[in-house]
Amino acid sequence: MPDTTPTPAPTPAPAHVRQGSSIGQPLTRRDGLLKVTGAARYAADNHPPGMLYAVLAVSSIARGRVASLDVPAAKAHPGVVEVMTPANAPPLAQDPDAKNNPFMFRLDLLQNDRVRYPNQPIAVVVAETLEAATEGALLLAPRYEAEPARTGLDSAESFVPPGVGVGNPPEAHRGDVAAGLAGAAIRIEATYETPAQYHNAMEPHAIVAAWDGDALQIDTPSQGMAMAQGRIAGLFGIAPETIHIRSPFLGGGFGSKGMISGPQVLGIMAARLVDRPVKLVLRREQMFGPVGHRAPTRQTLRMGTDRDGALTAIDHHAKTTSSTFDDFFEPAADASHTLYASPAIATSHEAVRLDTGTPLFMRAPGEASGSIALESAIDEMALACGMDPLAFRLKNYAEAEPISGKPFSSKALRQCYTQGAERFGWAQRPLAPRTMRDEAGLLVGWGMGTATFPALMFAAKARAVLRADGTGLMETGAHDMGQGAWTALAQIAADGLGLALDRIEFRSGSSDLPDAGIAGGSAHTATAGMALHGAGADVIAKLADLATSDERSPLFGAGNAGVIAREGRLHRRDDEGRSEGYADILARAGLAEIEGSGQGAADPVAQAAYAMHAHGAVFAEVKVDPDLGQVRVSRLVGAFAAGTIINPRLVQSQYYGGMIWGVSFALHEHAVIDQRSGRPMNPNLAEYHVPVNADVPSLEAILVEERDPHVNALGIKGVGEIGVTGTAGAIANAVWHATGVRVRRFPIALESLIGGGS
């Protein structure tokens, strides 16, 4: 039996540290002190003069109509100022059910008395105090005409969704899967189920809204301020520029704050109705409905290999759910598009409509639920071939993206496999399950999973100013969900201007700054970062023009391409001893400042030529109580390659966060839906389980070197979501290895393990 106790060793020194630049430095969060001292102002911390408190009343049925609300009782309660219902809600300029792009939620804004999911807002009570508003909401005592709730994957007729995720085709294939399966020497078929999950950011959705005529001031957590501005402008019939959103900090978002939600808009409507500033904060249980969730899936994987364990076919079919009134479909099967080099691959989706709030992207949408099934199936396939799971993956991972046939812009997956395996000690893993025990008699198992996430970019803008004193200002309206955007983007900004970090002012988190796009799809650093990089380059080019065309400058005649910017000076490339400080160049030109702008966007030419993804490999050790079935993850080692690492400390933290989500997916998270009422039965953090420190004893994340020359000029890929994708499958596979029981329903429950195995 191998020794399963890891040798305690310090985490290796962060790679990528470079001298003379901010990019690559393992800086702590610049806003860390503000956060740990409570000085960081989150949306709900704002209290403009005259502010009232709004509390939602939400439906306790899943489907039907609100027959009555006792508005007089609520209004008679001391401190209650107003009750907003469909009868008196301010008119909107746009139908909340209209949708003209996939980045729009259809919203419940009291447009009628229909109830289409549990916890749907049905009224808003506004009062002088939170207590009065809460009591007023209780006094509404709604009565309903309820209709039977449709719940579960089998409760309605299924259909092929028009698109999955944000507009991906619901079906895709390459090669002949039927022939690949028919001709296979070894085949497997298995069906996996994943539950509904809710984002559950620590900070609930909150808004403080204040109208001044047609001007609107909003404090609210947002992953996409410009998109929110546009949506609110449409709903209220006002110009986007008259809306100012401040969103300096988010207490987590995970996708649920990507698009402005109904409750946030209700806060704005309430403020309009009472003509005073209003604060509305969701209670935890109210987050289980109107602000999105990860839809459940049932996924069937069929695979075949030849006699040597080379894949001949992958067929990945996913069934999922959406609401009755909107169109988000979890793209679970798409996980099979990118990893394994089968000559034949088919993916397909079907969906049913349920009486549920609309699902939404939730951290690694599609990849998270899809990869737990795919990585479990790969493990089952390896076992059927009698092969070690790592050897099987090393044999079958793709050198070019299998579904599109495009080469990867870069790929360091082999290094992730080998570095992760070495660090973990995988070579000592016995092939057979249920062969390792620790000193306490617990079953020990080792499993692995492959991680991948696309390297996306959206569109962003940034503005840069170089001031007469040689300091700089960089602006972009980026969003810090806790991932460290304030820090990582400032590092890129400083390098863009060739200044030390303490010589620049970095402004972010407000909608009156240039649009930084959406903080989603693990694309924010690349997108907003490239905009900042471009803005810096624009300023430096103008500065270089001034210097190199001026006979009095030591840089005269060097040409733009002939200078580099570093530490507040321009240097001749061919003779670095010849240089001039920024302030001197500006002073001689008589300029108070130079301004520049930049844009970040995907390069369509590169995207047409290459498939762009980050990659990784995760290795898990679990310990399972043989009598009670209790599972603990005792060790996780992830190795990830995600291009240029802007800040290794923050990136490691993102990987840890993703890996903990993987633990959560495999073992904890499960929104339990009452099949009679359709209501979520555990809408709280006591019964909706997420891992705590005791659930995650040892984490390691290895930053594997990767230079991607095509993804963008800085070589940045995303790091926020990939950690979820390999980890959940690795844990499921480790549970099999510990127990000999293959659990295909997630989260893995005690009862699935008791009495199983031999």
- Least distance (Å) between residue 257 CB and ligand MOS: 8
C-alpha dihedral, 425 to 427 to 432 to 436, nearest 10°: -30
Q: Is 223 in the site for ligand MOS (CB under 6 A)?
A: yes
* Beta carbon of residue 230, minimum distance to ligand MOS (angstroms, whole number): 18
Query: Nearest approach, Cβ of 521 to ligand MOS (angstroms)?
Result: 4
The interface region with ligand MOS, picked from 252-260, 379-387, 525-533, 659-667 by CB under 6 A, is 252-260
Catalytic site residue from 375, 593, 721, 751: 721
The CA distance from 369 to 668, in Å, is 14
Q: Across the beta sheet with 579-581, what order do the strands follow?
A: 563-566, 569-572, 579-581
End-to-end CA distance of the chain: 18
Number of residues forming the site for ligand MOS (CB under 6 A): 11
Nearest approach, Cβ of residue 721 and ligand MOS (Å): 6
For the chain, how long is the longest CA-to-CA vector?
86
Q: How far apart are CA 54 and CA 729, in angstroms?
A: 42
Given the complex with ligand MOS, which of 294 and 737 has the nearer CB atom?
294
Quote the DSSP letter at residue 126: E
The SS3 assignment for 228 reads helix
Find the part of the chain contacting ligand MOS (CB under 6 A) among 51-59, 254-262, 372-380, 654-662: 254-262
Encode 57-72: b = buried (16+ Cβ within 10 Å), e = exposed. Answer: bbbebbbbbbeebebe
- Tell me how far, at minimum, the Cβ of 523 lies from ligand MOS, in Å: 8
H/E stretch holding 654: helix 648-663
Subset of residues 406 to 425 that bind ligand MOS, contact rule: CB under 6 A = none
* Minimum CB–partner distance for residue 364 and ligand MOS (Å): 7
Other Cβ atoms closer than 10 A to 697 = 14
Q: How far is the CB of 492 from ligand MOS (least distance, A)?
A: 20
- Asked if 258 touches ligand MOS (CB under 6 A), the answer is yes
Q: Alpha helix locations (H) across 128-276?
A: 130-139, 177-182, 225-236, 262-274
Which of 50, 102 has the CB closer to ligand MOS? Answer: 102
- Shorter beta-carbon distance to ligand MOS: residue 254 or 736: 254
Q: Give me the residues paired with residue 640 across strands.
A: 616, 703
Q: Is the dihedral of CA 48, 122, 670, 637 positive or negative?
A: negative
**And the tokens for 139?**
């006094």
SS3 575: coil
Question: Is residue 203 a contact partner of residue 291, using CB atoms and an 8 Å limit?
Answer: no
Site of tokens 């649009």: 515
User: Closest separation between CB of residue 654 and ligand MOS, Å?
Assistant: 12
Q: Is the CB of 93 or the CB of 202 nearer to ligand MOS?
A: 202
The secondary structure element, H or E, covering residue 604 is helix 604-609
Nearer to ligand MOS, 363 or 613 (CB): 363
Closest to ligand MOS by CB, 255 or 678: 255
Q: At what angle do helices 367-384 and 389-396 cross, to 10 degrees?
A: 110
Site for ligand MOS in 623-682 (CB under 6 A): none
Q: Is 561 helix (H, G, I), strand (E, B) or coil?
A: helix
| Candidate residues 262, 520, 529, 683; the one interacting with ligand MOS per rule CB under 6 A | 520
Q: Is 68 helix (H, G, I), strand (E, B) or coil?
A: strand
Cα torsion 180, 183, 186, 189: sign: positive
**22 or 522: CB nearest ligand MOS:** 522
Is 721 annotated in the active site? yes
Between residues 24 and 263, which has the closer beta carbon with respect to ligand MOS? 263
When asked if residue 161 is in the footprint of ligand MOS (CB under 6 A), the reply is no
What is the C-alpha to C-alpha distance for residues 326 and 356, in angstroms, rounded to an integer?
10
Least distance in Å: CB of 524 to ligand MOS? 9
Q: Which is nearer to ligand MOS, 419 or 522 (CB)?
A: 522
Q: Which of residues 341-380 bind ligand MOS (CB under 6 A)?
A: 361-363, 365
Stretch that binds ligand MOS, among 18-26, 248-256, 304-312, 597-605 (CB under 6 A): 248-256
- Mark residues 467-506: x for contact with ligand MOS by CB under 6 A, - for none: ----------------------------------------
Rounded (5°) CA angle 314-342-318: 25
Which residue in the shown chain puts its C-beta closest to ligand MOS? 255
Structure tokens at 121: 């807002």
Query: Which residue in the set 180, 521, 600, 683 belongs to the binding site for ligand MOS (CB under 6 A)?
Result: 521
* Residues of span 181-210 touching ligand MOS by CB under 6 A: none
E-strand stretches of 625-662: 631-641
Of the candidates 142, 165, 251, 255, which one interacts with ligand MOS according to CB under 6 A? 255
- And the tokens for 349? 């989706």
Alpha helices in 435-498 (DSSP H): 485-497
Q: Which active-site residues does the annotation give?
A: 721
**Contacting positions for ligand MOS (CB under 6 A):** 223, 253-255, 258, 361-363, 365, 520-521
